[in-house]
Amino acid sequence: MRTDDALPDAWRDWLSWLELVAPENVVEREAVATDAGDVLTYTRVVAERTATPVRSPVATIEVDYIDVPLMAADRGPDRPGRLIL
């Protein structure tokens, strides 16, 4: 991998796009606006192929989903807002 980073102020682009294509999606728009790029944003990943073959490609990734409130104000001490994979 060459680089990976969060695009500066990309959450604003996300919010503008939501307002254009899904103005009725108040929950997501409010979540993105309230977060203001703290966690929710677009990420850039730049990689290149190498001559080294991949030994065992990942076919599926199994995770246990834990329902965690998105807004920090909705979290309690027993629900810190982390997903454990």
What pLDDT does 23 receive? 92
* H helical segments located in the chain: 10-21, 26-35
What pLDDT does 76 receive? 60
The Cα-based distances of 38 to 7, 8, 35 in angstroms read 12, 11, 6
- pLDDT tens digit sequence for 22-45: 999 999 999 999 999 998 989 889
Output 40 or 76, whichever has higher pLDDT. 40
C-alpha–C-alpha distance, residues 17 and 37, integer Å: 15
Q: Is the pTM of this model over 0.85?
A: no
Output 51 or 73, whichever has higher pLDDT. 51
What pLDDT does 14 receive? 93
